[in-house]
Amino acid sequence: MLPAGVLIGGALAVALVGVLTGLQVTIAALDESVYKLAAVQHGNDFPLGPFHETTSRGAARLYSFLVSPLFALFDGDVAIRLARALNGVLFAATALPVALLARRVMSSRWSAVAAGLLSVAVPWLTLATIMFSESLAYLLFACTALAMLRALERPSAGRDGLVVALLLALVLTRVQFVALAPAWAVVLLVVERHRTVGWRALLGATGRRFPVTAASAALVVVVALGLLLAGALTGGLREVAGPYYEIGRRDGVPGNFGLGLLWEVEMLALGVGVLPAILATAWVVGALGRREEPESFRFAALALTLVGVLFAGTLWAQGGFLEFRSEERYFIYAVPFLWIGALAAFDRGDVPRRWLAGGGAALSLVLFTVPVGVQSSGEQLFLGPVSLSSSHLLPRLERTVFDVFGLAGLLTGRDLLGLVCLLLAGGAALAWGRGRRGRALALVPAVALQLFMATYAFSGVYGKLKDIGGLTPDIAFADHGWVDRATPGDPRVPLIDNQSGERDAAQRNTLFWNDEVTYLYTLGQLNLALPAFPVFTLPRVGSYAADDLALSKSLPEFAVTSVDSPLWQVQAETVRTSPGGTLALVRPARPWRVTWLAPSLDTDGQVVRDAELRVMGGHRVRIDLVAPNADAQPARVQVELGGAPRDVTFGDAQPPSRSLTFDVCETEGAVSGRVAVLNAAHVGGNRFSGARIAAVRLARC
């Protein structure tokens, strides 16, 4: 009972770290918005939401559906914090199936407990502080591997059916796990081959022992052939995989496929303390050669096949090496196998010393040669916590070594990593023949290194690393949920599509934290490009403005809009302004009409062509113009609105910003004007602009 208590207590401690951090994270990651919008759509139509929502990427809807009750019961900012807290629990719970998985090849319960806890006390726990699906996928993957191993040990229809059900759940959580279906078939054939002679007998025996897998495979083949004959196979795959279908389509092996593989090997090795990667590799190689030990052989064959297929499929879909934007989250599923293999080697003590030395030399070569350098951003803290921590730490470590030992230019950070690997492997090789205590001492530095990397990564989350902003700035969550808290009931507020290009972050943040914002209200005649990802996931409602600026479609009681959009604004009463002051929750006037309209402006406010201006009379209008670029190139526009035209010039001797005020107080109805380009400066691509309209502010006369 004591090992079980330690396992549960340790998992709860890890969960506490994830939960407390998740409750404090205030930064919204891009992909989180997709999961959140899907969860809101599920919650609005629970329990049939997964069949009706259109946000999720392909079939990956299980995670959003799991957290959707939170969004049905709580305001957006509260639901997001609770979902992030749940992620910490899901991630830490993976320790339980990993420990049970380890018991299949270990005699010591304590070693199995250690494998379970060390598989969750990793730098990638930072993922559990963000509303991503990896926490659920990590838990389901460990459960699937355990179910597979149990089915291989004692085949039955029930155990086989559980494997198929868990595989389906994995695919519904992350589409990348569709690669595990053929991997499972390969494992069955490899493990079962020693029972039969000949492929026909092998297939027949495997089908009888694993009937659910056989029936599922036959069903997939029949459906695929039917769709192929009907000419609908490609469309069906697009429907199931969503955007992942296009990502995974390749007509050749990416040129940096090998480098990408070595990069992930390097990051995983660093994330688990280097030595477990060497020990696990050595143990798996030995287990594959021990057919007289079926438990070890089955585990090694399963681990090698699942990890190999996942790595190859993911790198294929990624196109090889992502370099500055490492996505370690796609590869963390190897971590449980690394720690189980390492502790199985510790339990047995029969891994030859020369294998440890050789493995250390091979891994150190990777560490010496494969670059460690990524984009130092808050988002990288959870996408690639090991690579970010390493790229942040190594230059500082290099300078420290120089200051202490005076080795300027002699040792780089990568050199130091390689030397650490050689020292760990060499120390393990020396201690390996000195009994269980010696082997335990060899593992202590590896465990310490993993925990150090995890602590370093969490320091980044909390903003304690220099030049990395962190994920927990001091912002009140009530300010984030300002729309939900200001709207009574469930009004289904539209987000008015009048944001200029530089306002996307505020728009996305409002959409992320507030559940009431459920669709996008557009003005069709402007022909604006859709706002930046992920606002396009909202359902769209189009409208038009007549000559008198009346809107062709009505707005609801409330709407969220930009307070000073240069593109278009509606007549409305302000209910509440966002903390940043750029957006407002408004109550549109009746009848519904536009008060400001500027067709032909680009979405970032650049005046790249003559643009018509229209404003509702009875207002004082202030137009803020700024230089079209930062290079002080000469540019000039002429602005006319209800009076004499005014020229605005930008250049070396001119201020970079100007404000013009126009009174259209005495006029009823719509007033027309224009902004004309007299001299244009280059603003990127094939665009030339005379000025950028940064903001338009209207005040009643």
126 and 111 inside one domain: yes
Q: What is the DSSP string of 99-133?
A: HHHHHTT-S-HHHHHHHHHHTTSSGGGGGGGSS-T
187 and 88 inside one domain: yes
183 and 259 inside one domain: no
240 and 258 inside one domain: no
Tokens 């795959």 found at: 237
For residues 349 and 275, which has the higher predicted lDDT (pLDDT)? 275
In a domain, residue 606? The reply is no
What is the C-alpha separation between 69 and 634, in angstroms, rounded?
56
Tell me, what's the pLDDT at 631? 83
In a domain, residue 364? The reply is yes
| Residues forming beta bridges with residue 647, ordered by sequence position | 638
In a domain, residue 604? The reply is no
Query: Mean pLDDT, to the nearest integer, of 304-321?
Result: 85
Final residue before a domain boundary, out of 246, 261, 294: 246
Query: Mean pLDDT, to the nearest integer, of 416-433?
Result: 87
Tell me, what's the pLDDT at 69? 92
| Domain residue limits at 420 | 250-471
In a domain, residue 40? The reply is yes
339, 113 contact by CB (below 8 A): no
- Measured CA to CA in angstroms, residue 97 lies from 117, 466, 518 at distances of 11, 37, 38
Which of these, 258, 270, 261, lies nearest to 364 by C-alpha position? 270
- Measured CA to CA in angstroms, residue 516 lies from 263, 395, 489, 559 at distances of 43, 46, 9, 10
In a domain, residue 363? The reply is yes
583 and 625 inside one domain: no
pLDDT in tens, 642-678: 888 999 999 878 889 999 999 988 878 899 999 999 9
Query: Mean pLDDT, to the nearest integer, of 35-56?
Result: 75
Query: Mean pLDDT, to the nearest integer, of 3-20?
Result: 95
Is residue 135 very low, low, confident or very high in pLDDT (cuts 50, 70, 90)? very high
Final residue before a domain boundary, out of 421, 452, 471: 471
Give the total number of structural domains in the chain. Answer: 4
268 and 408 inside one domain: yes
Tell me, what's the pLDDT at 676? 95
For residues 539 and 583, which has the higher predicted lDDT (pLDDT)? 583
Q: Looking at residue 27, what DSSP letter applies?
A: P
For residues 388 and 52, which has the higher predicted lDDT (pLDDT)? 388
118, 450 contact by CB (below 8 A): yes
pLDDT surpasses 60 at 582: yes
533 and 676 inside one domain: no
Tell me, what's the pLDDT at 620? 92
618 and 546 inside one domain: no
pLDDT in tens, 345-402: 998 888 888 898 899 999 999 999 888 878 777 788 888 899 999 888 888 887 887 7
Query: Mean pLDDT, to the nearest integer, of 70-82?
Result: 89
pLDDT in tens, 516-529: 888 888 888 775 65
In a domain, residue 660? The reply is yes
615 and 572 inside one domain: no
pLDDT surpasses 90 at 632: no
Query: Mean pLDDT, to the nearest integer, of 169-182?
Result: 90
For residues 28 and 529, which has the higher predicted lDDT (pLDDT)? 28
64 and 183 inside one domain: yes
3-state secondary structure at position 500: coil
- Measured CA to CA in angstroms, residue 332 lies from 19, 338, 450 at distances of 20, 10, 14
In a domain, residue 43? The reply is yes
109 and 14 inside one domain: yes
In a domain, residue 601? The reply is no
Final residue before a domain boundary, out of 471, 488, 505: 471
350 and 495 inside one domain: no
What is the C-alpha separation between 604 and 683, in angstroms, rounded?
11
